[in-house]
Structure 1
Amino acid sequence: MLEDYAKARKLGLKQVERDVAAGRYPYPPALDDILKNQGYQGEVPVGLAEIDLALIAGTKTRGRQNMFSSGFLPIAEVGSEFSAKWSDLIDSQRAEGLRDPIVVYEYLQRFYVQEGNKRVSVSRYLGMPTILASITRVTPMPSDEKALRAYHEFTRFYRVCPIYGIISEEEGFYTRLAALLGQSLDEPWPEDVVRDLRSLFDSFSLSWRARGGESLDLQVGDALATYVTIFGFEHVRGLVPSQVDAEVGKIWGEFVVTQGEGARAYLEDPAKGHTAPLPKLKNLAKTTMLARPFRVAFVYDRNPLSSGWIALHDRGRQKLEGRLGATVSTRVFTDRSSDAAFDQAIDEAADYGADLVVTCSPTQMRQVTRAAAEHPGPAYLNCSVSLSHSAVRGFYGRMYEAKFLLGALAASLAGHHKVGYVAESPVFSTVAEINAFAIGAQMVDPYVTVHLKWFSAKDYDWRRELREEGVHIISGRDYANPLAPKESWGLYRVDDDGAETHLAEPVWKWGRYYEMLVRSIRNDTWKKEGEKVAGQSLNYWWGMSAGVLDVRLSDELPRGQRMLVDVLRQSVLSGRVHPFTGELRAQGGDVVQGPEAGRLTSEQIVRMRWLNENVVGRLPEQRELDRDGLVEVEVAGVIPVDPATVLLRDTSR
């Protein structure tokens, strides 16, 4: 109908005006023009496939480009031969549908039309999601650019799973997506997996666009992977579009905070409201809330009897009960590492009426994010830092402050200008702790070297290496290991005869941490903090000034060393001294920042990947890590990993 054409033309002319005003080319670009500048290796027939109309970027040749706006809406005069043909085509489309496929060339996951421009235009105007196309792939020239490396990974993906539209610009994305589905990029996928993924993607992308996803700085493929990561492919593969849309709505905040580089807010000091008295009661609802105990569910992936880390948190839970008495009630769920066991704990926590759910490992973040979507209402915490999530808040301590003090102490006790440091895994904040220790040691002894080893490295005798390197003062685990009670931890000395003497240790005060967090929820500080950082993930990253961290010294230490640590402690508490202020140099003498620079940002400290100039050692590679280390690094690591070999979690539900 000519009436349709007039409406479509009006929209097309407005699009041209917007493009011209913004300095953009107002017509569909021609692939031939693009290839003149970039070149290509050759052409490969792909065959027939349904393609997403949103992926059609232009025309193959210049031809009749100026008949269309950049979005393929018509702009030729009403009454022209073109307008008549366009009107006839839309009438035919409504009566019979499009019978013949269009002919397109695919280049870097975008399509350029050789035959069927008007069919594309009519379909776009009618809001059709896909169109049948005969595809020829244009192979780009070899290059080491990130975008081309990502594209070559896509071509591997397409060979085993022929679906267009699941787009990401990140290297490793398709390998990770395959791993999430229990597949690889080496063998063709089962037909039912391809079929279910295509159906899921159609439903997801429909919901994504309807909710405004195209306005986010996030590719639809990355958003799909986030969705599948949270809920699991076996759960989502059989859902109908309305169910997918409902779940997408539940986790929309996750897409908002992960767009771009991810928006993360760090709260380094408790707000005054955390410890303020509860506000006066203003209504019956609040009266009822305060009349019953505040209920906290602790869901541990391991057991306090076997994990020193979980034992620390459980002691904090017990101190929370001791501090707040009858106004708080806690319930513990242990050994909930699998998805099935975790979900059962969350169901029981919901029946318990939990106001707050606490998880203590970054590897639980995916599970607790899903729990927050399926059981909204309670507040959710995960003991991690710098993970971009909306419905779950991270909490951790600025442990680098304590390590700064311990580094200074270690250097004051060491002979031969050598101290040792054994780190757990190369995850967020760990490198900052290593460097703060090294900087503290360097402040006391400018010639000291810190010999770095890793607990998570497999087939590796770090004790022997430190012994051969002549290191006697060692910073080990931050807490005792219940499975090895005789193993030294904290800062200790190893004598020539092998005897070990405990010197000092960092102290986590989780009871105080939990008390302030509970108070913040009950007096509405929690809500206000979330409103201030809307659109960002929120991380509580408190330190010694908040009273959640400290250093405990052995009574056997000489008075001079005790005074040294006390002076540095007061300097850190007052803010006069900070390990990451002023001149910083990495290994090899590379300048991180100059002597007049201020403190590194929270993000720079948490996600640090460089090692201080006096550190002897390096970050481990993926192949060198044991299974537990791999799982931790996959979630929150500072080193590159291959997701195909790292996704080792039990995802049975």
Structure 2
Amino acid sequence: MKKHMLLVVLLLLVASFLTAKALKVAFIYVGPVGDAGWTYAHDLGRQYAQQVFGRDVITSFIESVPEGAESESVLRNYAQRGYDLIFATSFGYMDPIINVAKKYPKTIFMHCSGYKTAENVGTYFGRMYEPRFLTGLIAGIMTKSNIIGYVAAHPIPEVIRGINAFALGVKYVNPNAKVHVIWSNTWYDPAMEKEAAISLLDMGADVIAQHQDSPAPQQAAQQYGAYSIGYNSDMREFAPKAYLGAPIWNWGPYYEKVIRDVMAGTWKSEQYWGGMADGVVDIDISDLVPDTVKKLVSVFKDAIIEGKFHPFSGPIYDQDGNLRIPAGDVASDGELLSMDWFVDNVVGTIPK
């Protein structure tokens, strides 16, 4: 009798295991997973989560989804197919997410870089301005012409904030250097981004930084014998003679946390904005950077992580000489998230 009962229990456990519903998690990308940049970094995070959870989670992704109406149909399709959690990884997906979330209240949506939330919509991002400042320190020391080029993506606060943080790092070590900005109005268009970088190099820039997802600006820098600062991931293989380093993303642990919360039924809508202290953002530095510069960067990195230094510490002036952040003050999150002005060592304008 006892053996029979034990067999029944074992069979029930096996049946439970076989019929357990895996959490279905979708990722929507604005670029190709092979961009070596923004989308590549997110997909590394997806792969990390898949490896952590194994059969308990099913992940799916769709790449190169345009922002706007087309993204809304992709979001709706995933929700209709019973996906429990959807990560949408570009700013322009914000309104489509809000629209679809109203119709699928049982689906949880996570939007990267946005600011609109709902009961089943949360937002997440990283304080990329922290490692941006650190790469500015490197660029400010490594430049000889004092002309530093920056290939900017779209004129939104995220991009403007990054340019300013980088420029503040440059200014901290080299008050004579200027950061020259050219807009490509792209996230991923290698040909256009390379042309923008070349126009900066023709102006005399000997360091090129970027916000886009392709390594094209760095390849242009290498072609011209200049240095480059990448973005999103370690891109040294594309321009090994130019690449000084990059501010990089590490999404895996955060994706693991959100998935665990959803599986446990403890997920709640929030606006997450993590920094280097959380590990969601970091800096990669190549061997082209002297050890003395690496040590300086390390000191500032530790100070930021420990809360002893903030890249947007006053006094900070804008291009017109207006005092934006007084001495002794630090920019608030609200000011950072709505930033629409350039600091005083940036050369260029912000399109309306």
Which one of the candidate residues 446, 451, 454 is aligned to 2:175? 446
Q: Which deviations, in whole Å up to 9, do the C-alpha atoms of 1:91-128 show, x marking residues without a partner?
A: xxxxxxxxxxxxxxxxxxxxxxxxxxxxxxxxxxxxxx
What is the aligned residue count? 319
Which one of the candidate residues 516, 520, 523 is aligned to 2:257? 516
Which one of the candidate residues 278, 285, 288 is aligned to 1:546? 278
Structure 1 residues 544 and 496: alpha-carbon distance in aligned structure 2, compared to 1, 3 A threshold: closer
Q: Which deviations, in whole Å up to 9, do the C-alpha atoms of 1:214-253 show, x marking residues without a partner?
A: xxxxxxxxxxxxxxxxxxxxxxxxxxxxxxxxxxxxxxxx
* 1:321 has 2:50 as partner: yes
The SS at the match of 1:526 is: coil
Aligned to 2:345: 614
Contact 1:584–1:592 (CA under 8 A) maintained in structure 2 = yes
Which stretch shifts more, 407-416 or 302-311? 302-311
Structure 1 residues 525 and 578: alpha-carbon distance in aligned structure 2, compared to 1, 3 A threshold: farther
Aligned to 1:505: 246
Which stretch shifts more, 402-411 or 292-301? 292-301
Structure 2 matches for 1:302-321, cutoff 5 A?
302-305=31-34, 308-321=37-50
Give how far 1:539 is off. 2.1
* 1:382 has 2:111 as partner: yes
Which one of the candidate residues 93, 110, 123 is aligned to 1:364? 93
Unaligned runs of 5+ in 2: 1-15, 187-191, 229-238
Q: Which deviations, in whole Å up to 9, do the C-alpha atoms of 1:179-199 show, x marking residues without a partner?
A: xxxxxxxxxxxxxxxxxxxxx
Give how far 1:342 is off. 4.6
Give how far 1:513 is off. 2.1
Contact 2:194–2:219 (CA under 8 A) maintained in structure 1 = no
* 1:412 has 2:141 as partner: yes
Give how far 1:306 is off. 6.0
Aligned to 1:463: 197
Structure 1 residues 386 and 349: alpha-carbon distance in aligned structure 2, compared to 1, 3 A threshold: closer
* 1:602 has 2:336 as partner: no
In structure 2, how many angstroms separate the alpha carbons of the residues matched to 1:524 and 1:488? Answer: 44
* 1:488 has 2:222 as partner: no
Contact 2:71–2:93 (CA under 8 A) maintained in structure 1 = no
In structure 2, how many angstroms separate the alpha carbons of the residues matched to 1:430 and 1:396? Answer: 13
Contact 1:333–1:345 (CA under 8 A) maintained in structure 2 = no
The SS at the match of 2:342 is: coil
Contact 1:506–1:552 (CA under 8 A) maintained in structure 2 = yes
Give how far 1:502 is off. 1.1
Aligned to 1:273: none
Aligned to 1:297: 26
User: TM-score, normalised to structure 1's length?
Assistant: 0.45
Q: Kindly provide the amino acid, as one letter, of the partner of residue 608 in structure 1.
A: M
In structure 2, how many angstroms separate the alpha carbons of the residues matched to 1:416 and 1:343? Answer: 49
Contact 2:145–2:206 (CA under 8 A) maintained in structure 1 = no
In structure 1, how many angstroms separate the alpha carbons of the residues matched to 2:305 and 2:59? Answer: 32
Aligned to 2:151: 422
Give how far 1:397 is off. 1.2
Contact 2:124–2:273 (CA under 8 A) maintained in structure 1 = yes
Aligned to 2:4: none
User: TM-score, normalised to structure 2's length?
Assistant: 0.80
The SS at the match of 1:589 is: coil
Unaligned runs of 5+ in 1: 1-286, 531-537, 621-638, 640-653
Structure 1 residues 342 and 429: alpha-carbon distance in aligned structure 2, compared to 1, 3 A threshold: closer
In structure 2, how many angstroms separate the alpha carbons of the residues matched to 1:341 and 1:386? Answer: 17
In structure 2, how many angstroms separate the alpha carbons of the residues matched to 1:453 and 1:427? Answer: 14
* 1:574 has 2:315 as partner: no
Q: Percent identity?
A: 30
In structure 1, how many angstroms separate the alpha carbons of the residues matched to 2:299 and 2:201? Answer: 32
Aligned to 1:563: 295
Give how far 1:454 is off. 1.5
In structure 2, how many angstroms separate the alpha carbons of the residues matched to 1:459 and 1:408? Answer: 23
Which stretch shifts more, 332-341 or 381-390? 332-341
Contact 1:545–1:573 (CA under 8 A) maintained in structure 2 = yes
Aligned to 1:347: 77
Which one of the candidate residues 386, 391, 397 is aligned to 2:126? 397
Contact 2:108–2:121 (CA under 8 A) maintained in structure 1 = yes
Larger RCO of the pair (alpha carbons < 8 Å, separation 6+): 2
The SS at the match of 1:540 is: strand
Structure 1 residues 492 and 516: alpha-carbon distance in aligned structure 2, compared to 1, 3 A threshold: farther
Contact 1:477–1:489 (CA under 8 A) maintained in structure 2 = no
In structure 1, how many angstroms separate the alpha carbons of the residues matched to 2:310 and 2:150? Answer: 20
Contact 1:507–1:550 (CA under 8 A) maintained in structure 2 = yes
Give how far 1:390 is off. 5.6
Aligned to 2:322: 590
Q: Kindly provide the amino acid, as one letter, of the partner of residue 584 in structure 1.
A: I
The SS at the match of 1:429 is: helix
Q: Which deviations, in whole Å up to 9, do the C-alpha atoms of 1:337-356 show, x marking residues without a partner?
A: 474675366334443x3221
Q: Kindly provide the amino acid, as one letter, of the partner of residue 466 in structure 1.
A: L
In structure 1, how many angstroms separate the alpha carbons of the residues matched to 2:227 and 2:39? Answer: 33
The SS at the match of 2:310 is: coil
Structure 1 residues 580 and 306: alpha-carbon distance in aligned structure 2, compared to 1, 3 A threshold: closer
Contact 1:480–1:489 (CA under 8 A) maintained in structure 2 = no
Give how far 1:365 is off. 2.0
Q: Which deviations, in whole Å up to 9, do the C-alpha atoms of 1:9-56 show, x marking residues without a partner?
A: xxxxxxxxxxxxxxxxxxxxxxxxxxxxxxxxxxxxxxxxxxxxxxxx
Q: Which deviations, in whole Å up to 9, do the C-alpha atoms of 1:38-90 show, x marking residues without a partner?
A: xxxxxxxxxxxxxxxxxxxxxxxxxxxxxxxxxxxxxxxxxxxxxxxxxxxxx
Structure 1 residues 397 and 493: alpha-carbon distance in aligned structure 2, compared to 1, 3 A threshold: farther
Contact 1:356–1:378 (CA under 8 A) maintained in structure 2 = yes
In structure 2, how many angstroms separate the alpha carbons of the residues matched to 1:407 and 1:420? Answer: 11
Give how far 1:560 is off. 1.0
Contact 2:136–2:165 (CA under 8 A) maintained in structure 1 = yes
Give how far 1:460 is off. 11
Give how far 1:523 is off. 4.0
The SS at the match of 1:512 is: helix
Structure 2 matches for 1:185-264, cutoff 5 A?
none
In structure 2, how many angstroms separate the alpha carbons of the residues matched to 1:446 and 1:507? Answer: 26
Give how far 1:553 is off. 0.8
Give how far 1:333 is off. 3.0
In structure 2, how many angstroms separate the alpha carbons of the residues matched to 1:493 and 1:510? Answer: 32
In structure 2, how many angstroms separate the alpha carbons of the residues matched to 1:554 and 1:339? Answer: 41
CA RMSD of aligned residues (A): 3.2
